[in-house]
Chain A
Amino acid sequence: MTVDPEVLFVANQPRLFRYFLRAVGQIETARDLTQDVFLRVSRTTVPQAPDGEVRAWLFRIARNLALDHHRRHQRQPLPVALAMDAGRPPSQEVDAAVNAALASLPDLDRDVFLMREMAGLGYDEIARACDLTPDAVRSRIHRARLHLRSQLAAPIATRRTIPMRHSGREP
């Protein structure tokens, strides 16, 4: 049974967009890169494998596109503006701080962290996408989190005063 690239793309579009949104920091660019993934997928044969492996393959493509984008723009600092809900954190200042903190991470740590935090991939999937072991993924994610924790101490302290959910979604 062959995998329809369009079905695969539609199922993963929100994950890809969220990943790109934080990886490049611009809504328009994130949207374009998400479309670029679809173009690449539609030009090739989707591997016949379990969902997790196919998703890892998809995110390997996404990561390469993000890295190409960064190379083309010579690793300029991530832009400030991301449209956020008015009147609730993260505010635009927080958003700028988040992007700056992400930019200060090593590429691989940032990608591994974003694949988990923004795209919701499992450690096995991230390991396949980035040629790492699941243990290495766990270490890198935790290291990235500790780095971001120190960089974003103020917004984190503010966020601690608001009710939270385990998933990170708003209550």
Chain B
Amino acid sequence: MNDTHEVISAFLDDEPFDANALAAALSDPEGRAQLIDLLALRHVMQPGRDAMAAMQPKKSSGLRAVLAAAAMVVALVGGYALGQRQSESGQAEAPPATRVVDAPAAWQQSPPGGLR
């Protein structure tokens, strides 16, 4: 192992490095090959998107369902309570008619069961 090329790791990792040491390392063909290989190694090490997507626990969809159910219960209870309050205050009664239509003189009551 060539410890003189540690500067390549420092460069790759965006850590402070001695530019002259890096120049010396890269003047060596092995140093240049190392730089490229270590970059490729970085790519090889990366987990796939599927693995990263697995970071979120599957429980989250269950949690979402529980939250949706809770929201529905709150809405139902809230709606019921509001309805109760309105009926107690009499606001649930039908408003007075704004127009009254008089029946014509020839008006006749239909027999029970409708027209035949």
Contact count band on A: 35 or more
Among B5-51, those with CB < 8 Å from A are: 5-6, 8-10, 12-13, 15, 34, 36-51
Cβ A85 vs Cβ B50 within 8 A: yes
Q: Give the A-B contact count at a CB cut-off of 8 A.
A: 108
Asked whether A18 is an interface residue with its Cβ less than 8 Å from the other chain, the reply is: yes
CA distance A153 to B49 in the complex (A): 24
Cβ A160 vs Cβ B36 within 8 A: yes
Cβ A164 vs Cβ B40 within 8 A: yes
Cβ B10 vs Cβ A17 within 8 A: no
Contact count band on B: 20 to 34
Listed residue (B15, B36, B44) with the most chain A CB atoms within 10 angstroms of its CB: B44
Chain A residues in 8 Å Cβ range of B44: 89-90, 94, 98, 152, 155-156, 159
Cβ B34 vs Cβ A149 within 8 A: yes
Known: A90-B44, A117-B45, A159-B43. A138 touches B15 (CB 8 A): yes
A164 interface neighbour in B5, B10, B43, B48, Cβ under 8 Å: B43
B55 interface neighbour in A13, A143, A168, A169, Cβ under 8 Å: A13
Listed residue (A141, A167, A168) with the most chain B CB atoms within 10 angstroms of its CB: A168
Cβ B47 vs Cβ A139 within 8 A: no
CA distance A27 to B47 in the complex (A): 10
Asked whether B3 is an interface residue with its Cβ less than 8 Å from the other chain, the reply is: yes
Cβ A142 vs Cβ B55 within 8 A: no
Q: Who on chain A is nearest to B11 by CB? A: A166
